[in-house]
Amino acid sequence: MAHPNINERQSHVKSLLIRGVDITTAIKKELAAIYSCSTSAIHADIIWFTKPHSKHSIYTSSAVRKIVHARDGEICQYCGSETAYEYIVEHVIPAAIGGDARPYNLVIACQSCNIRKGRKVWIPRNLIEITEYHKDWRERVLSLADDTSPNLSVVIELGATGV
């Protein structure tokens, strides 16, 4: 039988997944307590939203694009342009060298940056935000960053904060 809070619970789980939170057993227990359900119900929600090829999956290309557009708006995350003719969803680490089509590896970019970047790795201005829950991925981006990359100050900021 559906719990009255099921929609709220599922959108809560979904929002955590979109932000890239690793839903550990401890977090499952917390959610189960909030929504008066079992941890297996939470687990089922996670499967529902992460199962490949499911129309509910947060990782379908249309869902991911919506997430990236909502997060970055119409601002190129490489040059900061807010007046570009066209914005596209761009892989930070190119797919050709193993970059995932997940929100932590996708940013909004203007066409000009997209063309100039090509298959190089550039540091997006929101790198810290998008990799908040994927610090290993952040390290990978920083280690692969090309000399022509804009936003090298992000590296300095990371160094200064000791992240």
What residues make contact with Zn ion under the rule CB under 5 A?
76, 78-79, 81, 110, 113
Q: How close are the terminal C-alpha atoms of the chain, in Å?
A: 45
What is the closest distance, in whole angstroms, from the C-beta atom of residue 96 to Zn ion in the complex? 20
> Residue 122 or 137: which CB sits closer to Zn ion?
122
What is the closest distance, in whole angstroms, from the C-beta atom of residue 81 to Zn ion in the complex? 5
Amino acid at 83: T
> Residue 76 or 107: which CB sits closer to Zn ion?
76
What is the closest distance, in whole angstroms, from the C-beta atom of residue 17 to Zn ion in the complex? 29
> Residue 63 or 79: which CB sits closer to Zn ion?
79
What is the closest distance, in whole angstroms, from the C-beta atom of residue 123 to Zn ion in the complex? 13
Of the candidates 94, 121, 126, 80, the residue with the CA atom closest to the CA atom of residue 107: 126
> Residue 79 or 101: which CB sits closer to Zn ion?
79
> Residue 64 or 76: which CB sits closer to Zn ion?
76
What is the closest distance, in whole angstroms, from the C-beta atom of residue 112 to Zn ion in the complex? 6
CA–CA dist 81, 114 (Å, integer)? 12
**Residue 103 burial (10 A CB sphere; 0-12, 13-18, 19+):** buried
CA–CA dist 131, 105 (Å, integer)? 8
CA–CA dist 90, 71 (Å, integer)? 13
Both tokens of 95, joined, read 């797919």
